[in-house]
Amino acid sequence: MAVVELDFGIQNALERLGIETVNNGSSTGKDFFSSGEIIDSYSPVDGALIAKVKTSTREDYEKVMSAANKAFKVWRKIPAPQRGEVVRQFGEKLRELKEPLGKLVSYEMGKSYQEGLGEVQEMIDICDFAVGLSRQLHGLTMHSERPGHRMYEQYHPLGAVGIISAFNFPVAVWAWNTALAWVCGDVCVWKPSEKTPLCGIACQNIAAEVLAANKMPEGISCLINGDYRVGEFMSHDQRIPLVSATGSIRMGKIVAQAVAARLGKSLLELGGNNAIIVTPEADIKMTVIGAVFGAVGTAGQRCTSTRRLIVHESVYDRVKDAIVDAYKQLRIGNPLDENNHIGPLIDKGAVADYQNALNAVVDQGGTIIVDGGILEGEGYESGCYVKPAIVEAANSMEIVQHETFAPILYLLKYEGNVSNAIDIQNNVVQGLSSAIMTGNLREAEQFLSASGSDCGIANVNIGTSGAEIGGAFGGEKETGGGRESGSDAWKIYMRRQTNTINYTEDLPLAQGIKFDL
C-alpha cells in the first residue's frame, strides 16, 4: 500500500494508526499479504489519493479462513470474562487513538470531524457494554416434568462471524458486531466497504496489537479488503455460520438468499426511509433541530437519516418556513473544519444519484422549495459537495418511496388525526427508524403502540438518527429484521443448547410414555 503526502494532519493520523507499515488488504494481523487487484482510496473531501490497497484473491481468502477457524478452537475455550478483558483493552486502545481514527473516518468517508469522533466513541461504548456482558451470558433453568431431572439452557459460540459493512459508518458497525461476537467466543472475518478500506486496516492494526499483547491468535480478528466478490465468498461459505451485512436492500436480498440456501444465519441492516411526524402540539424549535440534523447530518448518508417530514396541515406553513430558514444557516465544506455542518457525499456516483432523484422529483410532480445542486470552486474540487434540498411532495410518488442516500428532505402534509400520519409513515417498504414530535401523551402512546409505527426504532420528541448503544438497533420489513448493539442482540452470535440431566437410577420418558424392555 502506498501512501501520499496529505494535508489536514491526516499523514500524522495515519502514522499513529500504523498505516505506514501496512501493505496488505487481507490479513489476520500483518502476516498474510494480498495479491489481488488494487483499490484506490480517494478522499471525497479534496479528491486526493490517500492510498492504494491490494484486494484479496480466493487463495488469500482461504488463508484467512484457515487462520480464523484455527483461532476459534482456542478462543472458544477462553472463559467469557477473560475474553471481555481483551475487549476492554481494545476499548482502551480506541480511547488512546480516538482523535486520529476519528480524523481518518472523516477524511476517507467525508462526514464531519465531530461525527467521526462520535463514531469512534460508539466503538468505545460497545466495548464497555460487551465487557459487562461477558459476565452475563445468561441461560435459563426450567423445572422438568420428570422426577430427579434438571433442565437448563446455555449459549455456546457459533464460530466465524462474517461482517460486511458499509461506507457510511466504516468503523462503528464493525465494532458493534465484533465486540459482542468476541465476548461470545466467536472470531470475526470482516469485509469493509471498498470505499473506505483504510478505516478497516486501521481497526485491524489496533485489534492485532491488542491480541498480540495478550498472546492470542491473530485469526480472532480477520480483515479481507475487496469488492462484492469477497461478500459472495462469505455468503456461500459453510464455515461462516452467521453473516452480518449492512448496506442496501438489493445487496441484503442477495446475501440473505445465499446464506439461507445453505441454512446459515443472517443479520441484515438494510435501507431506511425514515419519517418524523409533526403534530399540531409539537414544539417547533425542537422539531427543526431534530429534522435538520436528521436530514443533513453525514450529508444524508445515514441509514437513519430523516427522509420524510409528515406535518399536520394546521402547522405546515410554520414548520416549512422554520426549516427553510434553518437551511439558510447551513455551512458546507471541508468536514475537518468544525465550523462546517455538512461535508461531501462519498463519491461522484452518489452525486449522480442525488441529481437523478431531484430530476425525478420534478418529473413526478414535486416542488423543490430549497434548490439543490453541485458546489464548485475553491474548496469543492472533489466534485462531491452538494446543497441540501427540500421538496414538497406526496408519499405516493415513486421517488419518495425510494431511499436516496443524499441530503434531500421531502415535506408531506397530513389532515385529520395522528392515525392518518402513521398510515403515511408506514406506507413504505422500509421500516428502520421513525419519530413523532408532539406534546400530546395520547398521540405519543398511539405512535408507540402495536397499531402505531411499524419501524424497529420509534422515538418521541427526538429525531430519527442517533441511536444509543444500550438499545437493540435495527428495523423491520425490507430493512431486514436484524438487531445489533444493545439489549439481547448478543444472542444471535451464539447457539442455544437445551440440557436435561437425569440424576436418578431410572429412565422415565417425557409425556409419560412407557417403553419397557
| Residues with catalytic function | 269, 303
Contact at 8 Å (CB) between 29 and 35? Answer: no
Question: What secondary structure letter does DSSP report for 512?
Answer: G
Cα→Cα distances 342→6, 187, 297, Å = 21, 37, 7
Pairwise CA distance, residues 347 & 406, whole Å = 11
Nearest partner of 106 among 208, 37, 6, 190, judged by Cα: 6
Cα distance from N-terminal residue to C-terminal residue, the chain = 71
Q: What are phi and psi of 297, to 5 degrees?
A: -60, 140
Contact at 8 Å (CB) between 399 and 360? Answer: yes
> In sequence order, which ranges of 26-112 are alpha helices (DSSP H)?
58-75, 80-96, 98-109
Coil, strand or helix at 393: coil
Cβ neighbours of 213 (radius 10 Å): 11
**Lookup: cell for 44:** 471525497
Amino acid at 463: G
Q: What are phi and psi of 50, to 5 degrees?
A: -80, -45
Any idea what the Cα angle at residue 488 is, between residues 82 and 469, rounded to 5°?
80
Q: How many residues does the chain have?
A: 517
Nearest partner of 189 among 136, 137, 226, 134, judged by Cα: 226
Cβ neighbours of 393 (radius 10 Å): 22
Pairwise CA distance, residues 186 & 72, whole Å = 6
Torsion of CA 465, 469, 121, 331, to 10 degrees: 10
Nearest partner of 236 among 256, 213, 209, judged by Cα: 256
**Lookup: cell for 6:** 496529505
Question: What secondary structure letter does DSSP report for 402?
Answer: S
Contact at 8 Å (CB) between 475 and 456? Answer: yes
Any idea what the Cα angle at residue 207 is, between residues 49 and 59, rounded to 5°?
70
Amino acid at 154: Q
Question: What secondary structure letter does DSSP report for 185?
Answer: T
**Lookup: cell for 484:** 445489533
